[in-house]
Amino acid sequence: MSFLILQLPARARLSAESAESESGKSSAASKEYDYVLSPDGQTVARHGRCVANMLPRADMVIAVMAPTDISWHRLVLPKAPGGRLRAALAGMLEDAVLDDPENLHFAVDPMGRAGLQSWVAVCDHTWLTSQLMALEKAKIRIQRVVPAVCPDEPATAYFHEAAWGGDAEDSSSNEVLLTWSTSDGVATWPIVGGMAHGLLPDPVPDQIRFFATPPVASPAERWLGRVVTVQTQAEHLTLAARSMWNLLQFDLTPQSKGLYALSDQWRRFMGVQWRPVRMGLVSLAVAQLVGLNLWALNQERMLKQKRAEMVTVLKQAHPQVQYVQDAVVQMQKETDQMRAAAGQVGDSDLESLMAAAATVWPADQPSASIQYDGVALTLTPPPTWGPSDLEQIKMRLQAAGVMADVGGDGRLTLRRAARS
């Protein structure tokens, strides 16, 4: 299952004077996206930067949001039904956010439970929707949106450019930002001035991991006074895509219909989290197939053994038989011939069937006609007999081991039941 992981350009923070010109520029120019193509969501097969129409296709498309576009809030998750949860969150966070809650998009911690402390991610609803629509026009359907950084342990410090995923020629890209992530939240600030150092904990815990993009690694080390681990954009995107978060919640939840729904279900099933289930199903199918084949081979061996035993019995009883095609039929035929040669009456002979009929047929009501074809005896009952009389005769014959059938013309046909 292939993965396309792309970076959403950071939302521009514009002044009132430049807002109009920037808006015109973004609408007229084609946006470029940093992307990673992965065969399994863990390794990098290809990475680069291009416009949406040139992005490679994959089974699963994941978009990564810049840390500066998300604010994090921890609260006790209200016990509200799914349809009212967003409104409940908006009311609880109204005093904690700067914008009107109606203009914001909310996403709940995937591990969150009602009545417990949970993280809620907040971003601009209009901006995120416009990003998704722009990609949709290029036939890029986003299944998941994940944060580049989220509250987690152990603490992580990530140095990166201010123009996260944006225009490399933007003058603001010269600014270096530090995104600080701990279990208490996420914060981002520029590493300029003496106050920036004061935002770091003193002393800095040894378990904190420091990362930096290649362009800002040197200034980050000079500012920090220690070595940082260089992490490429491709590595960072691949790591972010493994997050359990999906910001596409509430009204932005992907609506899958028809083939899209089947495709989404298949993609989920082929995901890494379902790998143990897939392996179990494959193992079960292989075991079932092997078991059926072994059972079939055993049944075939037993059948051949039975046939060989029957042939042996036939040749021992009738040595004159040289060629055996159907041992059961040939055994019956040879036995009947020997009985006839000895003058004995067979079960299907006329005498045997007449004797069986005589034991149940009223002596004062003879049959109107008798017909024998070598196997079966057909009797025509008296005209005065009704269906109940025929049924009574039939039941008595069957008790004696003789099969009796009543034909459409009312005649009774007798033949010996096959021996098991």
pLDDT in tens, 106-160: 999 999 999 999 999 999 999 999 999 999 999 999 999 999 999 988 899 999 9
Q: Hey, what's the torsion of the CAs at 48, 51, 52, 56, to 10 degrees? A: -40
User: Which tokens in the block code for residue 272?
Assistant: 């890494």
Q: Hey, what's the torsion of the CAs at 258, 264, 269, 272, to 10 degrees? A: 170
Task: Give the position of tokens 């199903």.
Answer: 281
Q: Provide the pLDDT for residue 184.
A: 92
pLDDT at 260 over 60: no
Say how far apart CA 37 and CA 20 lie, in whole Å.
35
Determine if the pTM surpasses 0.75.
no
Domain spanning 345-416 has what CATH number? 3.30.1360
- Give the 3-state secondary structure of residue 287: helix
- Give the 3-state secondary structure of residue 401: coil
pLDDT at 417 over 60: yes
Instruction: Check: CB of residue 263 under 8 Å from CB of residue 1.
Output: no
Please name the residues in contact with 149: beta carbons below 8 A apart, sequence gap of 6 or more: 67, 156, 158, 179, 181, 186, 240
The whole-number average pLDDT for the span 256-261 is 51
Amino acid identity of 276? P
Say how far apart CA 161 and CA 196 lie, in whole Å.
16
The whole-number average pLDDT for the span 351-379 is 83
Q: Provide the pLDDT for residue 28.
A: 35
Higher pLDDT, 32 or 317: 32
At 344, the pLDDT band (50, 70, 90 cuts) reads low
Counting Cβ atoms within 10 Å, is residue 100 exposed (0-12), middle (13-18) or buried (19+)? exposed
In the predicted model, what is the mean pLDDT of the chain?
84
pLDDT in tens, 210-230: 999 999 999 999 999 899 999
Instruction: Give per-residue burial for 246-270: e unless 16+ CB within 10 Å, then b.
Output: bbbbbebeeeeeeeeeeebeebeee
Task: Give the position of tokens 């590493």.
Answer: 191
Percentage helix, strand, coil for the chain under 3-state DSSP, each rounded to 5: 40, 20, 40
User: Which tokens in the block code for residue 220?
Assistant: 């980050």
Backbone angles phi, psi at 134, to 5 degrees: -65, -40
Topology of domain 3-270 in CATH is: Nucleotidyltransferase; domain 5 (3.30.420)
- Give the 3-state secondary structure of residue 261: helix
- Indicate the length of the chain as a whole number: 420
Task: Give the position of tokens 């995104």.
Answer: 179
Q: Provide the pLDDT for residue 346.
A: 63
Long-range pairs for 111-117: beta carbons < 8 A, 24 or more residues apart: 111/244, 112/77, 113/77, 114/77, 114/78, 114/79, 114/80, 115/76, 115/77, 115/79, 116/76, 116/77, 117/74, 117/75, 117/76, 117/77
Amino acid identity of 368? A
pLDDT in tens, 59-76: 899 999 999 999 999 999
Distances (CA, A) of 235 to 158, 211, 239, 353: 13, 11, 6, 92
Q: Hey, what's the torsion of the CAs at 40, 8, 176, 183, to 10 degrees? A: -60
